[in-house]
Structure 1
């Protein structure tokens, strides 16, 4: 591999230099970090990372190769990949073949500390400084839209309904805001037939299913007015389970507010307290927005890092949600029973 000098520039002017190991060009996005030690392929193909430059805090990335079953969608959604050390040429080739700008040799510790101190920032990953000087890239970064206010689900959602799992004890509709394949796999493992719908669908049709799952997805939930209206129209009519962005949309539909976290929660080692049982779950997370804390009894789960609301239960609305990813993909399996229990409770009397 020919070494080319690349760099990352943040909107505050901070520059981190590295070596280009991905495709040639420039990638713009919000610079964020994930603390997951494994799961790099799942991370890059997770639609929730749309419009983001992902910094991996693990010291080596790519050391166990790539495989088709680890894909969480058809293609990468992260715009750029930032690493301390490239762990294998197979990973680099995979990134190049899919048009992802990637840099290794980045001081990821310093970058993570910068993001923690100043918050997630817009940035540009540039494969060749000779082709795009820092000053020009910085000017372009500052013209990019902010993540706050960004409605991104239309870019990652299916355009037409489809049924990846045709048979099962119950029928589940998944509203696709950027759904990971792991969600469908866990639903199928729990004996659910699954139909995936676009991000805005007819609530009357959705209400004919045994349950509706609101998926994960990218961007700010607040501008998703149509999506929130669909969720509100489902409440009380059919069991609803929200995951990640789906949790935030359920919160909005139930009258709560959302806000942007300083640097988000991304990784596979986040402790969450289930307030009902006192049990602590180690969870997989990927979100930059959250539902505003309140004293409401509906909040069933809270983050042990910062008190962020991590789950809701609205029995009167037949709805519940979790901010974390119970399907993992990647991550620990502590929360797998959440999906299984929800599916097991479907199909009975209302």
Structure 2
């Protein structure tokens, strides 16, 4: 470990992935290991089964992360974990593991918002400063922009998330969950040649996917699976690009950052790139190492939280109230004070 570096270990387990990452205070990712619970074809992942999967792997993943990073627990300055949002049982399993590890090694424990962690990881690995953010995953679909110390949600799904839509479609047509339903849809869509009209449901800044899923269910058997995959992707991604561009126009932004598991999709990245190029900006995208849920994003956001708290309090001692170290299935992106960005620190001081 280089002199002066602080290391944070992060544990993520809000859905079907359990990840452990170790990140330095200057943003170097020393380890980012992960295991995915893959249910059988035709079924989704249930909270109890997912929690058991995480319980089985968390200890070995922590050991693997430490080995990969070449560090010991005594080299760490804190342990961060996902507080929410997410599935209750998996969140609790990982929070307990984080608490026990922190107690064993006398380390501060830092609760992290899962959605904010996706954004901060995207900003770290792409280097983009203040973009509009399209956050698309199995449990969340949001269009976000930073303002006055918060990540403000300008638009979102009013029913199911886009990743959930893709997952449920996979179950309907019998596509495999390995490595993920969204990946299977993407590969089948590349074979599609004919667009099948589907409901296009944009309501101002918000989107709705449940009607599309209902309609496509009625079409199964009448059209080839690749054509349905192609049509589904084209429709839902066009909706997302439309509301993202509207948010960018409202906020005066030219760049967009896409985060979350669905953000790995190459077709979505291509559509966003085309839109941003037409606006004289850029689309900032990452691959599955950082788009998909991972421990490094929790570790990095944990460091941002504790370092900014230490600065605001005028203390070098890294602390976080244990009474706040709980879990919650509902934890809005805009609930978090973004104290590590200059404007956010000033806003907090004024409040």
Mark yes or no: TM-score above 0.5.
no
Give the structure with the larger helix fraction: 2
Relative contact order (alpha carbons < 8 A, sep ≥ 6): 1 or 2 greater? 2
Give the structure with the larger strand fraction: 1
TM-score normalised according to structure 2 size: 0.30
TM-score normalised according to structure 1 size: 0.30
